[in-house]
Amino acid sequence: MTKHCTLFSLTLFSAIFSFGQLKTDSKTFNIDKEGKILEQYAIKIQEDTIIQNRFIADSLFTKALVSTLKANNSFQFSFDSLHAIKHILSPDNKFKIFSWQIDLGDGTFRQRAAIQFPTVDGNLKLLPLFDQSDFMLNTAVGINDRQHWIGAIYYDIIPVQFQGETLYTLLGYDEYTNGISRKIIEVMKLVNNEPIFGGDYFSYPKDPCFPLAPADRLVYQYKKGSNAIIKYDAMSKLIVVSELTSTEKDLKNPSTLVPSGNELYFNWINGKWTFVQKK
């Protein structure tokens, strides 16, 4: 994938989502039918073997998603027919995140995402996120707005409280390269309904498998296909992370890192996800 094609795709992505902000008359949708159409495009994004077809499907999917979300009170849509991309609702019903990725054909992936907010009048408020991780030397460092987002496919949202403010911990994954996958723990806050990603929200001991502290997000890299886990345990209120070991005794080489069978734990303490020993 050339940089020219990538930049063209980003421009198109921006234009389509900008179009989605226009106020329009309400429509009556058969959301199950619309969801199935979106699913067809989403499957082609994920599975078509021709890169040009994947980008065409991505453009068609984005346009169809915006068109569907422009229906009045679309925040209430559950999208039960849409399975090929992630769409998750925050537990406090404050926003939804749609996220997906495109295989660029060179062993790397580009993430797409948008955050939808409910509105009093039922009109669409949709904010696109723009994956700029290819242009960052260290993705673990930096407090970013949605124009400079570290791409991820989000699968969980964990609201946490600090100093009277609600913050949102996002758990996501990134297929990244042919040999390395990664999972990301990212804390997001909303400032005037604009997302701000990252910050001083982590405390952990020095470990070659963790980013060098201080880090603004936990980027966990490991051998593709090894199924390392990052998940939230609601009962214990802990984030559970697979401990990693190297198949070649080289903990600094993420393409050799696989789960050891042990688990590590992070607890939200005084505004930080803090490494703890589970009792």
- Does residue 47 carry a pLDDT above 60? yes
Same domain, 278 and 149: yes
Sign of CA pseudo-dihedral 135, 138, 140, 142 = negative
Instruction: Take residue 80 and report the two structure tokens written for it.
Output: 């039960």
Nearest one of 13, 10, 22, 113 to 67, comparing CA atoms: 22
What is the extent of the structural domain holding 178?
A: 134-279
Is 91 a domain residue? yes
Residue 28, number of CB atoms within 10 A of its CB: 6
- Convert the pLDDT of each residue in 50-97 to its tens digit: 999 999 999 999 999 999 999 999 999 999 889 999 999 999 999 999
Quick one: pLDDT at residue 32?
Answer: 76
Same domain, 105 and 163: no
Same domain, 146 and 221: yes
Quick one: pLDDT at residue 3?
Answer: 42
Same domain, 67 and 161: no
Same domain, 177 and 273: yes
Same domain, 249 and 140: yes
Is 80 a domain residue? no
Is 236 a domain residue? yes
Quick one: pLDDT at residue 31?
Answer: 75
Same domain, 21 and 121: yes
Lowest-confidence segment of 29-33, 38-42, 60-64 by average pLDDT: 29-33
Task: For residue 124, give Cα distances in angstroms to 15, 26, 69, 119, 217.
Answer: 16, 10, 7, 7, 30
The strand ranges marked E within the chain are 86-89, 96-103, 109-117, 125-130, 153-162, 165-174, 180-191, 194-197, 202-203, 218-223, 230-233, 238-246, 257-269, 272-276
For residue 180, the cross-strand partners are 223
Instruction: Take residue 12 and report the two structure tokens written for it.
Output: 């198109």
Quick one: pLDDT at residue 20?
Answer: 40
- Say how far apart CA 19 and CA 13 lie, in whole Å: 10
Count of structural domains, the chain: 2
Is 15 a domain residue? yes
For residue 233, the cross-strand partners are 238
- Does residue 215 carry a pLDDT above 80? yes
Contacts of 267 (CB under 8 A, 6+ apart): 237, 238, 239, 273, 274, 276
